[in-house]
Structure formats: C-alpha cells, structure tokens
Amino acid sequence: MQCRMCGFEFDENNVPNRGCSGCGKHCSSTVHCPNCGYGNTLDYEQEFEFIKKLKNKLKRKS
C-alpha cells in the first residue's frame, strides 16, 4: 500500500495494530501509515485498483 498523504510504501499486513495509536476512534477499514500516521482507507484502495484496471482496459481498446 502507498500512503496517500506522504507516498511512503508499506505492507498493510505487517503494520502492528493497523498502525493505530489508540486515539479512541474505531478504524476497522483504516490502516495508518507507519511513516506519517495518516489513516488510509482500504475500501478506497480497492476502488482505486478497479478504476486503474478499467482505465488500462479502455486504453487498450483505443
């Protein structure tokens, strides 16, 4: 995963406690960047992957 705030690349599966520092909020679909602490949403990442694939498919047809 690449952090949308600082661009740091990290494996979201290797971040202990999903990078949460215990602020009290429930972040079930968020992984915090170990570099800057920004909460990256996993749902957004999946949607973005779909959009990239669709965009590439449309480019190939052109």
Q: Mean pLDDT over residues 48-58, rounded?
A: 85
| Element at 50 (helix H, strand E) | helix 42-61
Of the candidates 41, 24, 43, the one whose C-alpha atom is nearest the C-alpha of residue 33 is 41
- HSE of 20, CA atoms in CB hemisphere, 13 A: 13
* Domain residue spans of the chain: 12-61
Six-digit token string for 9: 């690349």
| pTM for the predicted model, two decimal places | 0.61
Amino acid at 27: C
Q: Provide the mean pLDDT of the chain.
A: 82
* Amino acid sitting at position 21: S
Task: Determine what percent of the chain is predicted with pLDDT higher than 70.
Answer: 84
* pLDDT tens sequence across 4-20: 899 999 998 888 877 67
pLDDT digits (tens, 9 = 90+) for 20-32: 766 666 667 788 8
Q: In this predicted structure, what is the pLDDT of residue 9?
A: 94
Rounded Cα distance, 34 and 13, in Å: 12
